[in-house]
Each structure stands twice: as C-alpha cells, then as structure tokens.
Amino acid sequence: MIAGRHSDRNVLVSGAASGIGAAIAQRYCEEGARVALLDLNPQAVQAQGEALRAQGFHVAWQAADVGDFEQCQHACALLAEEIGRVDTLINNAGISPKHEGKPAPIWQMSPTEWQQVVAVNLNGAFNLSRLLSPSMVEQRFGRIINMSSVAGSAYLPLVAAHYSATKAAIIGFTRHLAGELGAYGITANALAPGRIETPLLKTVASAANEAVIADTPLLRLGQPCEVADAACYLSAPDSAFITGQVLDVAGGWLMR
C-alpha cells in the first residue's frame, strides 16, 4: 500500500461487497481514492460501504445487476453524484456456479446458466465500460482493469465451460479496449487470479483446492489483498505506459 497514491482518483469497483472486490475497494480507499461500490446484493454492499465509511473513507454504494444495462446506467448516475466522475473502473463482478460443489459438464449445462454467466462475467464488463468510457475519453484519461482468470488461458477443472469462456473473452475485450482507447490517454489491462482464498472456495471440496495448491510453485492459495495490490499498481502513475496486458496473480500456477 502507498498512502495517497490514488488521492486524485474516483474509482468504481463492481462485485465490491465481498471477496476480491471488497479487498480492492478497501485498498483504493487506503490509497486515498473516492470509491464507489457496486454489487447485486443490496444488504451486503451497504454493509461493506458503511464499514469503509466508518473508517473515515469517502465511499458510495449502489445495488445493481451488472448484466442489466439500464440498472448499471441508473446506478452509475447516482454514484457519480456522490463521488464525482469515475476515472478508474474495476470490472470485478463475476460468478462461477457449482452443483453440489462441482461445475456442470457441458452436456448437462442449461442454456439459462450459460446465459447468466455470460451476462455477469462478460456483459457486465461491457456495460460498465460502455457507460463510463465516454467521460474518460472526454477528459483524456482513464484506467480500466478487467478481472479475467487463469481459467481464461488454461484448462482448470474446478470451473465450467461458461466461466472459462467468459474469462478468455475478457482478455480479448481488454486488448481491444487498450488499442481503441489508448489515443485518449486511457489504459486497459486485465488481472488473471489463480486460486484466491475467498468465500467462493467453500463451494468446492477442500481436496480440490489442495490439488491446486500442490500445482502452485508458491504452494499456497492467494489472498484477496494480493489481487488488490495488483489492481492498484495497474492504475497507478507507475504503470502509465502499461496497457493491453494480462497480469497473472497466481503464484506461478500457469508455469506448471
């Protein structure tokens, strides 16, 4: 953490009520940013926002389904009234459905579940980028960080086809944004976490997580704060000449 590094920034974090999103919001607050929290769960995002506000941070929050463009549009307008025009967007919201602790194989996956995952993991990133990029273009400055996964680059049996497909698509989406928006002083990068110790880990058997640890050179799970540190780096002045990149936060798992 570098105190004050983001003191001139207005940051929006989606999926901010728990896990990685909550850690990212916390870290940006600690580095001086004004932070907007967006999450589907109204009670959870309010609790997280109030906890940050109790620490003296400048935060606002709204509940919205990131897969719904009109809900995002309404929430972004309200959040901008409270924190100002967003210049740093963290597209973190994502889902990875399980069935009795296991991902559905493609021959059992329902079209409805496929569409739900695409709506949140991929359409959500589009919706918020579409809504917030015009002001970034206008001010000729912006930072967009999209949450991919190691599952977007390699087969990970702990997740299903819809999750891997959307996380791979996020990488392509990020690189396109970097090329399209670079002339306006906007960078776009992606983070690709490995197995991170969040509440989602409880949805799979412990043996499955232990197998991932055994395949990870650092021999441990990652922590949400480590992903948060990477996000803050990619939007900091130190990384102003970095765009279109995918930063793995996976303890070396992809090297196996």
Q: How many CB atoms lie within 10 A of CB 13?
A: 33
* Contact in structure between 104 and 160 (CB atoms under 8 Å): yes
CA torsion sign for 100, 104, 110, 116 is: positive
Task: Show pLDDT as tens, one digit a residue, over the chain (256 residues).
Answer: 677 899 999 999 999 999 999 999 999 999 999 999 999 999 999 999 999 999 999 999 999 999 999 999 999 999 999 999 999 999 999 999 999 889 999 999 999 999 999 999 999 999 999 999 999 999 999 999 999 999 999 999 999 999 999 999 999 999 999 999 999 999 999 999 999 999 877 777 788 889 999 999 999 999 999 999 999 999 999 999 999 999 999 999 987 6
pLDDT of residue 1: 63
Q: How far is 30 from 122, CA to CA, in rounded Å? A: 29
Q: In what order do the strands lie in the sheet with 246-249?
A: 59-63, 34-39, 10-14, 88-91, 142-147, 186-193, 246-249
Number of separate helices (H) and strands (E) present in the chain: 8, 7
Q: What is the token pair recorded at 141?
A: 């400055």
Q: Which residues are catalytic?
A: 163
Q: How far is 202 from 101, CA to CA, in rounded Å? A: 8
Please report where in the chains the tokens 């509440």 appear, as a residue: 199
pLDDT of residue 166: 98
pLDDT of residue 256: 64
Transcribe 26-49 into DSSP letters. HHHHHTT-EEEEEES-HHHHHHHH
Q: How far is 123 from 38, CA to CA, in rounded Å? A: 15
Predicted structure pTM score: 0.96
Nearest Cα to Cα of residue 92 among 26, 136, 141: 26
